[in-house]
Every structure is written in structure tokens, then in C-alpha cells.
Structure 1
Amino acid sequence: MEQTLINDGLPFLGSALPADLAGVELRRAITEHRVLRMMRNTFRDARVPDSREVRVAAIALHAPKDAIVADDTVAWLQGVDTNDPRDRFSFSPSLIVPNHACRPQHPGVRVREGTIDDCDVVEEGGLRLQTNLRATADMLRLKWRPNALATADAMCRHNLIDKGELAEFIRPLRRLPGIPQARALVRLVDPRSMSWGESVLKLRLVDAGFPMPALQHEVNDPRIGVRYLDCAYVAPRVGVEYDGKEFHTAESDREHDAERRELLSDILGWRWEIARRDDLIGTNDALEWRVGEKLGLTPRPRSW
């Protein structure tokens, strides 16, 4: 006989375990793949498939009646991950509560005080959420510069916002922290940056004072077929690409990357600079200097 779903299939808090898990260590249930961790302090029965409705129910465990779901959490509810890869396994709900309101006491909830116009709020499943435009604008102004751009690229790439509408939304905003950053970065938002790494790589190049590279540049030649380059400086034939762990770690992936780049180099004269995650995080500017040498340009210092 099939066992009853833990907590009737609804998400639950690790700090308030349902009776189904009484006497059973949560960590053990996770290890045995009976329970899945959805975010910090929030879990569900592993047999329950992921869905928008399940995610809404999970956020509802953390959100007081007067709270507005904000920022990364708005994206997460729609299946879009806008987090820095280093934070991917420590996701916490982000909420906005009225000034001087009582804040949630659950561990791992990010809360800030503020007010939002009703036109920037929508309702779903009993929750009040920022609109996609407002959430993206707030992340663009409040997040660390590279993560801010990567977030907006991701929202645009998943058709949750339009770049032109985002720029128009940000234009009239006044007296909010981070507006200068949001206005500067919105010019760089582009759905053709296909990952966090490609977004940060693009920003590294632009902030170094280099021209904006061509994104997902198509090379079409009968000798090699159609190839796409993450970031390309077409005239000097310099390709700058991001090799992330997910698609560029296996030996077969590495061999494919090497063969593709070798063909483009041997037949069409392309030169390469390849970045991995460790090249993008931190103050080391060796990547900029290597690219600058190929472009005949001197990189300017980076502020982040």
C-alpha cells in the first residue's frame, strides 16, 4: 500500500516538523531521499513534483499577511534562478514589510522595510508579489554589480521582462538606493547572455573599457558549419568565452570545446581567451590584461 505523503504533500518548515516526521531526524529523511530541501528551512515530500503551486505554498510559510514577496523570490516562483552560483544551495525567501512592521521570525528569511505602489504588486495564491518589472528593477539597483546584471539578463532571457520596458520603468525612479547602478546596467541587459557566467564575463569586458562584444556571434562557413561564440570581437577575430562547470567539465565536453576552437583558429584565424568561474570572481584582472593584449587595448581598473 502506498504511504501517505508527508504533511499531506504540502511544504513544511524544518523548525516546525509535521507529525509524520515525529521521532525521525530530518537529516536522515533527506539522506534517504524521502524529503527534498526547497530552500533554507523549507522542505517537501520527495514524491511531490516541483511546480509553481508548490513553490507558492512554500513561500506562504514565511510571508506574513502584510508582506510582499520580492526580488529573487519572484523569479524563483517562476522557475528562474537569479542567484550567484555560490548561493544556489542557500536560497532564502526575500520579503518586503511595511515600515516598523513585525518581521518574520523564521530563520533564513531576508526582510527589508519599505512601501511599494499598488501598481507594482500582483496577487497569486494568497501572496502579494512584486511585478516582474519591479522585482528586476530592485535587483538591478540593490544587488552586487555583476549579480545585478546577471539577474536582469536571466529575467529577460526567460521572457519575464522586456529590456525596453525595464529601461522605461527605471527612468523616472528617484530617491531610491542604487538607481545610478540600475540606469548604467540596464544598457547592458541582453537575453543573449545565456548564463550567469556569460553575463559576468560581458560586464568584465565592458568595465575594463573594452567595446561591447558581439554576443552569441554566429560564424557560418561551409568548411565548419555554423558556430556561435559567447563574446566576440569580430574585426580582430578574438573570441572570449565562459566555460562553466555544468556544460564544460566532462572530458567529452572539453574535447568538443577544443575541437571547435581549433577549427575556428586554423581555418578562420580566431584567437581565444577562456574564462572559468574562478577567473570571474575576485580582484584578479589577469583576464582583462590577456584580452587587452589581443585587442591592443589597456584595461582600466575595475571597481568591484
Structure 2
Amino acid sequence: MIEPPTSPFLWSHFDDLAIAPFTLRRWLQDGRVRRVLRGVYVSALLPDSLELRARCAALVLPTYAVLCDRSAAWIWGIDVHDPDERFTIADLEVAVAPGQVRLRRTGINGVERDLAKTEITQVHGVRLTTPARTAVDLACLRGRRSALAALDAFMRHCGVSEQDLRQQLLRFRRRRGVTQARELVGLATPLSESPGESWTRSAIIEADLPVPEPQVEVFENGVLVARLDLAHRHCKVAVEFDGEEFHGEEQREHDERRRGWLREQGWHVIVVRKHCLKGAALEAWLEELATVVAERSTPRRRRYARSAVRWQKA
């Protein structure tokens, strides 16, 4: 039986490998091969890694090009797709220096980008923008929620600091989106553990509600019992995002037991899922959050909390 190659390969390699095209279709159907990029495939036995992603990108990139934006984030292990875009295979976003010919081919989106030498690095033979440059580019170019999620993720997974981001912003004067980037840099945190948590926090910020604290730990008799995605400690209100990939049936049962215990301890828990990030569902849980925080706030904060309720009525 013919086995998939042990390194990334292109559809065009099949003639050299003496493999019939229908064999690839069978491998994909059987789950023995997965498509990583448009036209680029790997054996399912190869674990995902920074090196593997770079080797896949190297198969379709010219040596002078630089991966940027979402593609550079992907190499760094950061998922910055919007909720409805997740688990899709996007075109590679590739930058060339001003005056060079933009790459125009299937599966590649070419842009001109003024990049300093210090903003370009190399990973396993592939040139790409540094974590700080990639994060700020995305903070300018993406919608607010995805932009904040990108900043959070680069701070958490790549060790990018707020100072690094502000230093990078010095080169972005007058660039489209820089005002948004400056604002979001001050709101980003490495404590956010998933894009969903960042999207949820961003929705709360956009609604002009009090900003909750991420990763709040709850103890009983000195033992850690729960860690909340987002919470207002002073009034025991929690907001948690349930992502589809991390909340299957077993995890859902565990979450319900944990949240039941929290409610017995006086916590009000609001659960947000992907479909709750837009439309009527978004308005419903934001109104619930505003109302509960207002009702549970101390007298000193009550006037501010009531203003949050008025947001929904305005």
C-alpha cells in the first residue's frame, strides 16, 4: 500500500512521486492526509509545529517575499481569524518591498509593505514579520475584536510586551488603523487564553460596560475550585466563553457542575458561545451583564453601574 510522503508536498509533486491524483483524494477522505495551505498537503502523522508550517509555506513562496499579517501570525502559532472564518484555509498574505512586483497567484495575496530590517526575521528558511510587527499590523488592519485577540495572543504566546508594541507603533504614524491600534494596545493582556475570551472582552468594552478581570481564581478552604474567563470580583458576576473545539459533551458536563457550584456560592454566571457574538443574542447577554452588575454593585459604584444599564436603552 502506498503511504503518504513523510514531508510536506504539493499537488504538482504527484507526477514526480508516481502517485495518482485519486490517491490523494482517498487519503483526504480517510484522514491520512490534511491540507495545510492551498495546494500544500502533509501526512496526518506529522504533528503541527512552527517548523512544519514554515516548511509548508516555503514550498509556495519565492525567497524574496515576506509573510505578513494573518499568515505570519499562523507561522507563529497565533489564530487571528474571525469567528466565522475559523478552521478555513486562507490565502497566504505576502509582502514585498515598495517598487517590487506584488505576488499574484492562486492562494497568495500580495501587498506592498515598508518593512525595516529589524521587523523581518527568518524561521526555518521562511522570511516573515517579527511578532511585534505582526501584532501591530493586525491591530491596524483587522476589526476591533480580532485585533484585540491578536494582541492578546502575541503577548501570551510570544512574550510581546506593551512596551514592545508601543515602540513598534512609533513607525506607524498616519497609517490607516493606527488610532485603533494605539487604543487596543492599552487594553490587551497576556492573561486571555483564547480568541473567544478576547472577542467576549472586546464586546464588553465596545458596549462601554465595566471591563471585567480575566482569569479570576475562586478558592474554597484554600483550594482552587474554579478559574473564570472574565469576572467582576466585587459583585460576583462571571462571563465565560464556550468554544466548540474545547467544550464537547464531557467538558460541557464538567462546566455545568462547576457553574452550578459557583451559583450556589452566589456567583451569577453568563455563558457566551460563538453565535452570541452578534445580533439579538449579543444584545441579550450584554443587557443581562449590565443589569446584574448594576444591581450587585456597592453604593459607591452604583451611579456608574446605572449608567451602564442606560447604554442598552440609548
Range into which the TM-score falls when normalised by the shorter chain? 0.7 to 0.9
Which of the numbers 42, 45, 61 marks the counterpart of 1:44?
42
How large is the Cα RMSD of the aligned pairs?
2.5
- Aligned residue for 1:62, secondary structure, equals coil
Which of the numbers 82, 85, 90 marks the counterpart of 1:84?
82
Q: How many angstroms apart in 2 are the aligned matches of 1:223 and 1:50?
A: 38
Letter in 2 for 1:39: L
| Equivalence for 1:14 | 11
Q: How far off its partner does 1:48 sit?
A: 4.2
1:266/1:35 Cα in 2 relative to 1: closer, same or farther (>3 Å)? closer
Q: How far off its partner does 1:99 sit?
A: 3.3
Q: How many angstroms apart in 1 are the aligned matches of 2:161 and 2:219?
A: 29
Q: How many angstroms apart in 2 are the aligned matches of 1:260 and 1:116?
A: 48
Q: How far off its partner does 1:62 sit?
A: 2.5
Letter in 1 for 2:68: A
Letter in 1 for 2:268: R
Q: How far off its partner does 1:3 sit?
A: 5.8
1:126/1:230 Cα in 2 relative to 1: closer, same or farther (>3 Å)? closer
Q: Is the 8 A contact 1:60 1:127 kept in 2?
A: yes
Task: Provide Cα deviations, 1:133-170, integer angstroms capped at 9, x if missing partner.
Answer: 10111011111211111111111111341233213322
Q: Is the 8 A contact 1:62 1:93 kept in 2?
A: no
- Aligned residue for 1:229, secondary structure, equals strand
Task: Provide Cα deviations, 1:91-133, integer angstroms capped at 9, x if missing partner.
Answer: 3321112335333344222221122111211234433211111
1:126/1:172 Cα in 2 relative to 1: closer, same or farther (>3 Å)? closer
- The 5-angstrom pairing of residues 45-60 of structure 1 reads 45-60=43-58
Segments of 5+ residues of structure 2 without an aligned counterpart are: 295-307
Q: How many angstroms apart in 2 are the aligned matches of 1:236 and 1:262?
A: 17
Q: How far off its partner does 1:4 sit?
A: 7.2
| Equivalence for 2:235 | 236
Q: How many angstroms apart in 2 are the aligned matches of 1:247 and 1:47?
A: 22
Q: What's the TM-score, normalizing by structure 2?
A: 0.84
Task: Provide Cα deviations, 1:254-296, integer angstroms capped at 9, x if missing partner.
Answer: 22222222222222x1112111110014574222111111122
Q: How many angstroms apart in 2 are the aligned matches of 1:96 and 1:205?
A: 34
Q: How many residues align?
A: 296
| Equivalence for 1:72 | 70
| Equivalence for 1:295 | 293
Letter in 2 for 1:83: H
Q: How many angstroms apart in 2 are the aligned matches of 1:29 and 1:265?
A: 48
Q: What's the TM-score, normalizing by structure 1?
A: 0.87
Q: How many angstroms apart in 1 are the aligned matches of 2:214 and 2:109?
A: 34
Task: Provide Cα deviations, 1:22-69, integer angstroms capped at 9, x if missing partner.
Answer: 432232231234432112221124444444333222212232233111
Q: How many angstroms apart in 2 are the aligned matches of 1:299 and 1:65?
A: 56
1:278 is aligned to 2:294: no
Q: How many angstroms apart in 1 are the aligned matches of 2:86 and 2:226?
A: 32
- Aligned residue for 2:168, secondary structure, equals helix
Segments of 5+ residues of structure 1 without an aligned counterpart are: none
- Aligned residue for 1:220, secondary structure, equals strand
| Equivalence for 1:110 | 109
Q: Is the 8 A contact 2:14 2:21 kept in 1?
A: no
Q: Is the 8 A contact 1:224 1:263 kept in 2?
A: no
| Equivalence for 2:168 | 169
1:123/1:258 Cα in 2 relative to 1: closer, same or farther (>3 Å)? closer
Task: Provide Cα deviations, 1:206-228, integer angstroms capped at 9, x if missing partner.
Answer: 11111211111112222974321
| Equivalence for 1:154 | 153
- The 5-angstrom pairing of residues 126-137 of structure 1 reads 126-137=125-136
| Equivalence for 1:217 | 216
Q: How many angstroms apart in 1 are the aligned matches of 2:42 and 2:230?
A: 40
Letter in 2 for 1:93: L
Q: Is the 8 A contact 2:95 2:112 kept in 1?
A: yes
Q: How many angstroms apart in 2 are the aligned matches of 1:46 and 1:217?
A: 37
1:137/1:150 Cα in 2 relative to 1: closer, same or farther (>3 Å)? same
Letter in 1 for 2:122: E
Q: How far off its partner does 1:71 sit?
A: 1.9
Structure ranking higher in helix proportion: 2
- Aligned residue for 1:209, secondary structure, equals coil
- Aligned residue for 1:158, secondary structure, equals helix
Q: Is the 8 A contact 2:65 2:94 kept in 1?
A: yes
Q: Is the 8 A contact 1:208 1:299 kept in 2?
A: no
Q: Is the 8 A contact 1:95 1:109 kept in 2?
A: yes
Q: How far off its partner does 1:188 sit?
A: 1.4
